[in-house]
Structure 1
Amino acid sequence: MPSASGAIAPRLPKPPVALRKAALFLDLDGVLAPLAPTPDAVGPDVRRTDVLTRLTERLQGRVAIVSGRTLREIDRISDGAARAASGVHGLQRRREDGSLVQRTPDPAVRRAVAAFDAFAAARPGVLVEDKELSAGLHYRQAPDVSGEALILAASLAEETGLALQPGAMVLELKTPGADKGAALSAFMAEAPFQGGVPVMVGDDLTDEHGFEAAERLGGFGVLVGPERATAARYRLEGVNAVLDWLDGIAEVPA
């Protein structure tokens, strides 16, 4: 498996619990919350909220959720436990102090939503997610349409200039100009993250930009889920393993 340096890496070990001045950047779906058949099937969880609250206090605010979901959805699912967060793959960003940075939606997103709606109307189980800054086509409940969905999304990306972002059983066309790596880098230039060691935890291809940015800035990435080619240096098995690991960090004396 290629490592961040491009060399063939051994099986990835678990990340350490004792981290010096860690700055944690956590994906949501598949990392802090289990993957679900539909986006709205994921909701708040008592343990997740507790771990995030204690972790944020332990790390003096150096915790951010970095997700493809909108900030509104991040807040709903995390029960407001994440003060710093980035949504829609870096296109929305809320600093730890609550101030917001957001890109202007590309007008072509409306065209993508309309095309996805027409595609989904004829294919039961396909769902469209309108995030204003992007359009998502979910086919977890209709995996047989994956080829058709990719052809449609790639064609729209070429015609409109929207950025095509593949994910786990979802294709997203988004306003160009940002990704999770850019969001991580922006957080690291600001308080309270500045001077910390960035750690990006993610499960999907969308998280590779974050892994690369963390490595470039002196930290590392943690892949969640099965082994695959990745820029991450460590790996955890799944959501429960992530919460156990974060719980351990929260308990380490400052």
Structure 2
Amino acid sequence: MTSVARDADADTLFAPPVMPADRTALFLDFDGTLVDLAEAPDAIAIDEGLAALIARVAAKLDGRLALVSGRPAGDLARFLDVPVTIVGSHGMEFRWADGTRQEAVRPEAMNAVVTAMYRFAAAEPGVIVEVKPLGAALHYRRAPHLADRAEALALEVGGVDGLLIQRGKMMVEVRAAGGDKGSALRRLMQGDAMAGAAPIFLGDDVTDEDAFEVARDMGGAGVLVGDARETAASYRLANVAAVHRWLAEIAA
């Protein structure tokens, strides 16, 4: 599973095969992977059967499934009421399947970041501020012409110790340092339930690349969701609907 599977033209990655359930650990991003992207974080549409599908796949994998997202862990728990491990805030918040929680300390410097972002959004229609437990993001999907200015603001207010700049699709975030989706994947794979399994990580954004690399290095693979681009993933699924179909094959 460590080799990169490409089509004859080497331009596009193949869809992943259905992995052996007894030797696979599955890690799923949320936005752009399980649900289609929306103009605002709370504007997403949740497929009626998605929670049940995730629960069936988790059962098939004997619990070796986790959600790993840049969103707050509480958001994922609210949108998908499924008893699985949830990692939020780009690998900095853990909600374990048994109900225990762990998260990093919010840097005090984030208060000034949030204030500056709200001031910017108040003056620029179309910009949305998303405040998270360990970060804050500027979403400019409704105002793509403001991408450079949003980026400049993030660089200005995020250039202090303990804070990172996290870029994503039509957004830029300032967040606490100390972890990412790749480090979260390594930590999850240290659990006894994951022993001997190959990690498969599905994600759509550049924020998922760290996890793709770790999955590959640990004998598994990354699966890019969406349009083809330069990536560390070994496979690709065209869109969210294709992800749902692939998960349904595993559940079956």
Instruction: With the length of structure 1 as denominator, give the TM-score of the two structures.
Output: 0.92
Q: Check whether the contact 1:52–1:82 (CA below 8 A) recurs between aligned residues.
A: no
Taking the TM superposition and a 5 Å limit, the aligned residue runs for 1:33-182 are 33-78=35-80, 80-182=81-183
Q: CA 1:9–1:94 in structure 2 vs 1: closer, same or farther (change >3 Å)?
A: farther
Deviation at 1:43, TM superposition (A): 4.8
Match of 2:215 in 1: 214
Match of 2:229 in 1: 228
Could you tell me how far apart the structure 2 residues matched to 1:85 and 1:67 are?
A: 8
Deviation at 1:76, TM superposition (A): 1.5
- In the alignment, residue 116 of structure 1 is paired with which amino acid? M
Could you tell me how far apart the structure 1 residues matched to 2:186 and 2:10 are?
A: 25
Deviation at 1:45, TM superposition (A): 2.7
Q: CA 1:100–1:202 in structure 2 vs 1: closer, same or farther (change >3 Å)?
A: same
Task: List structure 1 segments (4+ residues) > 6 angstroms apart after TM superposition.
Answer: none
Q: Check whether the contact 1:127–1:137 (CA below 8 A) recurs between aligned residues.
A: yes
Deviation at 1:159, TM superposition (A): 3.7
- In the alignment, residue 97 of structure 1 is paired with which amino acid? D
Q: Check whether the contact 2:36–2:45 (CA below 8 A) recurs between aligned residues.
A: no
Q: Check whether the contact 1:153–1:164 (CA below 8 A) recurs between aligned residues.
A: yes
Match of 2:189 in 1: 188
Could you tell me how far apart the structure 2 residues matched to 1:225 and 1:82 are?
A: 27
Could you tell me how far apart the structure 2 residues matched to 1:43 and 1:11 are?
A: 28
Deviation at 1:180, TM superposition (A): 0.4
Provide the aligned C-alpha RMSD in A.
1.6
Could you tell me how far apart the structure 2 residues matched to 1:235 and 1:172 are?
A: 26
- In the alignment, residue 39 of structure 2 is paired with which amino acid? P
> Paired residue for 2:26, among 24, 27, 47?
24
Instruction: With the length of structure 2 as denominator, give the TM-score of the two structures.
Output: 0.93
Deviation at 1:75, TM superposition (A): 1.0
Could you tell me how far apart the structure 2 residues matched to 1:42 and 1:191 are?
A: 34
Could you tell me how far apart the structure 2 residues matched to 1:182 and 1:101 are?
A: 15
Structure 1 gaps of 5+ residues are none
- In the alignment, residue 175 of structure 1 is paired with which amino acid? A
Report percent identity of matched pairs: 43
Q: Check whether the contact 1:94–1:101 (CA below 8 A) recurs between aligned residues.
A: yes
Match of 1:15 in 2: 16
Could you tell me how far apart the structure 2 residues matched to 1:221 and 1:65 are?
A: 14
Q: How many residues align?
A: 245
Could you tell me how far apart the structure 1 residues matched to 2:46 and 2:36 are?
A: 11
